[in-house]
């Protein structure tokens, strides 16, 4: 802020900064919460689906087979994936992480990603993140309480990201609209409000110029100036009179 900017302008800048900050805070904080809600809701629904798959697989184990021998597991995975577009991939892994069934057949017999199995605790579902893919895991418990493996459901957030982006854009638009109205109104308002004070300063400044016309706002200043000026002028006049009255001989 260099010294020449009017205080009214500084006030406008301050108000503008606060409006921008407030708008960004309100929009940003709300958006973040919304994003969390949406992702939470999505993960919840997928947890329900994964849980169902887990129960179906466990029922299959009851037939008296190992996890790799559950009949119809591959078909079950592919059917479930087709039924829910949000799912990117489904797989069933055994207790050491080897993929037994997978909707993406390339992954069969490979090791499941570490991140996918890292988050499991106890006998409930867990969520994981593997790079850009998000996922839900559900353990498969056999008839004597041992973990025989897990069902992994992965989904990618691209579809949700598109919606989040559109919501973000609409919020940015609303913020910009609000600012577009509020900023000019604020600037104009400030200038109107500060008119009197600015006039006072201007009057002060003008009153101090030599030979200025009388200013009602700066009356007292001008009065003081005038008084001093008059006294000095009178004294000057008297001194000049004295000087002119002096006899010629002193000057010689």
Partner 1 sequence: MRLPRRPLLAAPLLALPRPTRAQDRKFRIVMMLFRGWEEACDGFRDYFAARRIPVDLIVRDIGQDLSRVPELIAETRAIRPDLVYVWGTSLAIAVLGPWDQLDPARHLTDFPVVFNIVTDPVGNRIVRSREAPGRSVTGTEYIAPVDVQMRAMARYRAFTRVATTFNPNERNSLSVVRQMQAFLGGGVIELPVALDAAKRPDPASIPDVIAAAKRAGAEWLYIPPDTFLNDHRLVLTRTALESGLPCFSASERFVQFAEGLAGLVSRYYSVGAFTAFKAEQILREGRAPESIPVETLTRFSFLIRMETARRLKLYPPVGLLRVAETV
Partner 2 sequence: MTPDRRLIGSVLALSVLLLTAAIGFVSHTALRSFEGELRPELEREATVVGSIGVQTLQRALDLGVPFDGLSGVEEYLATLLSAQPGLAYVLLTDAHGRVIARAGETPATFQGLPPGAVPPGRGAVTRLLGSSYDAALPLLATGQPVGWVHVGIARARLDTPLDDMRWDVVIVLLVVLLATAEFLRFLLARTVSTPIAMVRRLQERLAAGDWTVRAPTDMGAEAGHVARHLNVLVRRMNDRWDRLCWLATESSAAHRTAAVLAEVGGKLRFGMASVAERRGSDTASARLPLFLFVFAEQLSTSFNPIYAQALAGGGGTFGAALPIAAFVAAVALATPWGGEVVARRGPRSAMMWGTVPAALGHLGAALAPDVFSFAAARAVCGAGYAIVTIACQVHLAQEAPQGRVARSLGGFTAAVMTGAVCGTAIGAVLADRMGFRLTYGASMLVVAGIALLVWREFAPGGGSTAPRPGLWRSARIAFAEPRFAALAVLAAIPAKVLLGGFIFFLAPLELRELGFSQAAIGRNVMLYGLCMLPAIVAGAWLSDRTGRGGLIIAIAGALNGVGLMLPLWLASDIALPGAIVATGIAQGLASAPMLAVVPAIAGATGNAAAMLAFLRLAERFGSVVGPPAAAALLASGGAGHTMLMLGIFSLVTAIGYGLVLLLRAARREEPA
Site for partner 1 in 67-106 (CB under 8 A): 67-68, 94-96
168 makes contact, choosing from partner 2, partner 1, none, with CB < 5 to 8 Å by partner type, with none
7 contact partners, CB below 8 Å, separation of at least 6: 194, 197
83 makes contact, choosing from partner 2, partner 1, none, with CB < 5 to 8 Å by partner type, with partner 2
Q: Is 159 in the site for partner 2 (CB under 8 A)?
A: no
Q: Is 61 in the site for partner 1 (CB under 8 A)?
A: yes
φ/ψ of residue 94, rounded to 5: -90, -175
Please choose, out of 26-34, 127-135, 144-152, 198-206, the segment that lies near partner 1 by the rule CB under 8 A: 144-152
Task: Determine the straight-line distance between the first and last CA of the chain, rounded to whole angstroms.
Answer: 63
With CB under 8 A as the contact rule, the residue among 196, 211, 213, 252 that binds partner 2 is: 196
Closest approach, Cβ 192 to partner 2, in A, equals 9
45 makes contact, choosing from partner 2, partner 1, none, with CB < 5 to 8 Å by partner type, with partner 2
- Number of residues forming the site for partner 1 (CB under 8 A): 19
Site for partner 1 in 155-184 (CB under 8 A): none
Q: What is the three-state SS of 191-240?
A: HHHCHHHHHHHHHHHHHCCCCCCCCCCCHHHHHHHHHHHHHHHHHHHHHH
φ/ψ of residue 97, rounded to 5: 90, 5
Q: Is 107 in the site for partner 1 (CB under 8 A)?
A: no
The Cα–Cα gap between 234 and 12 comes to: 49
Binding mask 3-42 for partner 2 (x = CB under 8 A): xxxxx--xx--xx--xx-xxx-xxxxxxxxxx-xxx--xx
Q: Is 42 in the site for partner 1 (CB under 8 A)?
A: no
For 58-87, give one letter per residue: b (16+ CB within 10 A) or e. Answer: bebbeeeeebeebeebbebbeebbeeeeeb
């Amino acid at each position: 802020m260099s010294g020449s900017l009017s205080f009214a302008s500084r006030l406008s800048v301050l108000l503008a900064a606060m409006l921008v900050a407030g708008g960004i805070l309100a929009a940003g904080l709300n958006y973040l919460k919304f994003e969390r809600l949406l992702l939470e809701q999505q993960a919840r629904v997928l947890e329900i689906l994964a849980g169902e798959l887990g129960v179906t697989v466990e029922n299959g184990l009851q037939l008296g087979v190992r996890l790799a021998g559950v009949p119809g597991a591959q078909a079950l995975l592919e059917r479930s994936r087709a039924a829910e577009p949000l799912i990117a991939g489904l797989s069933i892994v055994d207790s050491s992480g080897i993929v037994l069934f997978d909707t993406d057949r390339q992954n069969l017999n490979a090791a499941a990603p570490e991140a996918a199995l890292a988050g499991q605790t106890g006998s409930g579902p867990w969520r994981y993140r593997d790079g850009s893919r998000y996922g839900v895991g559900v353990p498969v418990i056999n008839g004597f309480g041992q973990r025989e493996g897990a069902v992994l459901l992965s989904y990618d957030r691209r579809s949700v990201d598109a919606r989040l982006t559109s919501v973000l854009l609409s919020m940015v638009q609303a913020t910009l609209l609000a600012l577009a109205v509020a900023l000019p109104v604020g600037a104009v308002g400030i200038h109107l409000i500060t008119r009197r004070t600015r006039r006072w300063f201007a009057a002060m400044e003008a009153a101090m110029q030599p030979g200025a016309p009388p200013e009602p706002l700066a009356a007292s200043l001008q009065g003081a100036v005038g008084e001093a000026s008059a006294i000095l002028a009178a004294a000057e006049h008297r001194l000049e009179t004295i000087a002119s009255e002096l006899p010629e001989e002193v000057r010689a």
